[in-house]
Amino acid sequence: MGLFIFFQELINLITNGQILFLMFISTILGIIIGALPGLTATMGIALLTGITFGLPAKLAVPILISIYDGAIFGGSIAAVLINIPGTPASAATALDGYPLAKQGKAKEALLITRIASFIGSLFGMICLLEIAPLLSKVALQFTSPEFALLALFGITICGSLTAPDLAIKGWIAGFLGILVSCIGMDGLHGFPRFTFNIPELLGGIAYVPAMIGVFGIPQVLISLRYSTGEMARIIEVKTKLMNILRIIKNHIFCVLRSGVIGVYVGTIPGVGEDVASWLSYDTAKRSSKNSESFGKGAYEGIIASETANNACIGGAIIPLLTLGIPGSPPAAVLLGALLLHGIRPGPMLQFEFPNFIYEMSALLAIASFLLLICGTLMTSILVPILRRTKNEILMPIVATLCVIGAYAINISLFDIKVMVILGLLGYILVEMGYPMAPFVLGVILGPMIDVNLRRTLLTSNGSLLPFVTRPVSIILLILIAFSFISQTSWWKNRKKKGVKVS
């Protein structure tokens, strides 16, 4: 039945010229965003969320999915051609992609990354189609205590895994986000909290200006701190499609394994495509017979990295749609975008929008095919652009787009100020080693914790027992406790000792 609905949605989308055209343009835009160093998939989705706000959801969602898929692939173009990963997700691709380009195999490497990304996206889509409906059924058993704990778990695990310095900084960033979400009228009483008599704050801090601010402004400032250096020369050599397909066929096990790693990493809240690609690259290197060729232009390296990062997209959308917890930073922004368009991901999604999971799967399938077509088109166009565009020209334009993205949601100059203030705060926090993904998750999921926590206490007359007597709550509590304990020096020392003994 599910498969039938999926094909029905697929046919509906394919026969809709307007959606197909918008997805085509968005995939191209996504590839450009991904290919330009400094612009990430997260930032691209955040920008486009603001800009597409005025469009109906049936047009805005396909645009954002295409941007997401295109940007994750686009990063590999810059990684292969100029050894600068366009997005963090393609950093592992640069390790072998650039040496291949220097050997005169730039086109070959790009064709491989394109096919690997296509297979990865498709693999992620199949997993989304198969796993998401099953997980939705489990999620139906969730009530207030589970929702509060689930949101808290998403923020803490994201904090643990995305912190570049200390895990505690990831948690602090998450709780700062929750604190920001407390601004405005509270969900139960409508009492104004921390509004400082500013009427614009009564409605709270809007997601999109906050997201654009903390992801966009730090990126602009960090990219502009150093002047653009010399870029490497690109070698162009002709290649045959049959040879590439043979290479992919010879590494089919690596492709499948990377797909599984990508989807698995994607389902973990807040952990994104970059982790998937590194983990897959590392696994490929460890299990390869030619591990010494890694870093010198191994096809396996770019296949592993690119398959995993695109498979991660489907994986990240699974918890997003079924539990309302995004699997990666771009998915966190996507969650904000869906909420903005009146689509509330989570267990109730299958009742409010029964076919949405299948529609998303169909969109991802189309985006995968468009990626293959647009990737071919854009590779030749982006080569000269990548060689000539300076950060000093690009970043001021990006800053202007951030301003429009923040403004367009509510047509409010106040939102621009919010974006700038949070952006500067984000810049300082990023410099001090605080990750921004848990902050954004905190802003989005904060109200969910607040309302569900107090609702649980209301129904239990102030007792905390529902949190420790319900099976799912207990599991979530254990997971939250583990996400904290696993980061302590005691646990890490214990693990090290265990490894030494074995």
Partner 1 sequence: MLKKESLRKADVISSIILIILGIYVIKEALKMPATGLPGTVEQEFYLAPGFFPIIVAIVLIIMGLFLLINGIRSGGRISKDDLRKFVKIFTSKNAIRSIVITALIIIYTIILLGRIPFFWATFIFLAGSMFFLKAGSWWSILLISTIGSLIIQYCFGTLARIPLP
Segment contacting partner 1 by CB under 8 A, of 19-27, 332-340, 386-394, 469-477? 386-394
Residues shown for the chain: 502
Q: Does 491 contact partner 1 by CB under 8 A?
A: no
Site string for partner 1, 322-341 (x = CB under 8 A): --------------------
Determine, following the binding rule CB under 8 A, whether residue 231 of this chain makes contact with partner 1. Answer: no
> Is the dihedral angle over the CA atoms 271, 272, 278, 280 positive or is it negative?
positive
**CB contact at 8 A, 288 and 300:** yes
CA distance 397 to 16: 33
Question: Which residue in 1, 241, 242, 432 binds partner 1 (CB under 8 A)?
Answer: 432
Q: Could you tell me if 121 and 313 are in contact, meaning their C-beta atoms sit under 8 angstroms apart?
A: yes
CA distances for 174 relative to 88, 96, 99, 217, angstroms: 21, 35, 39, 19
- Interface positions, 203-222, toward partner 1 (CB under 8 A): 217, 220-221
Q: Which stretch binds partner 1 (CB under 8 A): 263-271, 298-306, 348-356, 396-404?
A: 396-404
Distance CA 144, CA 451 (A): 8
Q: Closer to partner 1 by CB, 288 or 412: give it.
A: 412
Among 454, 466, 472, 479, binds partner 1 (CB under 8 A): 454
**Residue 398 CB, nearest approach to partner 1 (Å):** 11
Cα-Cα-Cα-Cα torsion 376, 381, 386, 388, nearest 10 degrees, comes to 170
Report residue 285 as tokens.
């290197």
- Per DSSP, the three-state class of 419 is helix
Nearer to partner 1, 92 or 398 (CB): 398
How far is it, in rounded angstroms, from Cα 498 to Cα 195? 51
Position 457 contacts partner 1 (CB under 8 A) = yes
Whether 70 and 34 have beta carbons less than 8 Å apart is answered as yes
Total site size for partner 1, rule CB under 8 A? 61
Task: Pick from 3, 11, 393, 474 the residue near partner 1 by CB under 8 A.
Answer: 393
Comparing CB distances to partner 1, the nearer of 393 and 474 is 393
Sketch the per residue contact string, 16 through 55, with partner 1: x for CB under 8 A, - otherwise: -----------------------------------x--x-
Rounded to an integer, what distance in angstroms lies between the CA atom of residue 129 and that of residue 416?
Answer: 38
Nearest distance from C-beta of residue 488 to partner 1, angstroms: 10
Q: Work out whether 147 is an interface residue with partner 1 (CB under 8 A).
A: no
172 binds partner 1 (CB under 8 A): yes
467 interacts with partner 1 by CB under 8 A: no
**DSSP state for residue 501 in the 8-state scheme:** H
Q: Is residue 57 involved in binding partner 1 (CB under 8 A)?
A: no
- Cβ closer to partner 1: 322 or 456? 456
Residue 231: which of 384, 126, 407 has the closest Cα? 384
Least separation in angstroms between residue 393's CB and partner 1 is 5
- Please identify, among the stretches 94-102, 256-264, 316-324, 445-453, the one whose residues bind partner 1 according to the rule CB under 8 A: 445-453
* Binder of partner 1 out of 4, 226, 351, 490 (CB under 8 A): 226
Nearest distance from residue 446's CB to partner 1, in Å?
A: 8
Binding residues among 254-313 for partner 1 as defined by CB under 8 A:
none
Report the alpha-carbon distance of residue 361 to residue 2 in Å, rounded.
11
Contact pattern from residue 401 through residue 420 relative to partner 1, giving x for each residue in contact according to CB under 8 A and a dash for the rest: x-xx--xx--x-x--xx-xx
Instruction: Determine if 176 is a binding residue for partner 1 (CB under 8 A).
Output: yes
Contacting partner 1 (CB under 8 A), which of 3, 21, 130, 194?
Answer: 194
Burial 146-171 (b: 16+ CB within 10 A, else e): bbbbbbbbbbbbbbbbbbeeebebbb
Q: Give least dist CB 175 to partner 1, A.
A: 5
Residue 397 contacts partner 1 per CB under 8 A: yes
Chain-centroid distance, C-alpha 473? 27
Q: Helix, strand or coil for residue 193?
A: strand
Supply the angle between the helices 273-287 and 252-267 in degrees, to the nearest 10: 140
Helix (H) or strand (E) holding 183, with range, is none
* Choices 113-121, 242-250, 298-306, 446-454; region in contact with partner 1 by CB under 8 A: 446-454
Q: Please tell me whether residue 351 binds partner 1 under the rule CB under 8 A.
A: no
In the complex, least distance from residue 147 CB atom to partner 1, rounded to whole angstroms: 14
- Tokens of residue 169, six digits: 């900084």
- Per CB under 8 A, 477 contacts partner 1: no
The strand pair at 184-185 and 192-193 is best described as antiparallel
Longest dimension (CA), the chain: 73
Binding flag, residue 344, partner 1 (CB under 8 A)? no
Quick one: 54 or 384, whose CB is closer to partner 1? 54
Helix (H, G, I), strand (E, B) or coil at 192: strand
CA distance 414 to 194: 16
Taking each helix axis as running N to C, give the angle between helix 329-340 and helix 299-323, from 0 to 180 degrees, rounded to the nearest 10: 40
Q: What is the CA radius of gyration of the chain?
A: 22
Rounded distance between C-alpha atoms, residue 126 and residue 419, angstroms: 37
Residue ranges in contact with partner 1 by CB under 8 A = 51, 54, 164-166, 168-169, 171-172, 175-176, 178-179, 182, 186, 188-191, 193-194, 217, 220-221, 224-227, 390, 392-393, 395-397, 399-401, 403-404, 407-408, 411, 413, 416-417, 419-420, 423-424, 427, 430-433, 449-450, 453-454, 457-458, 462
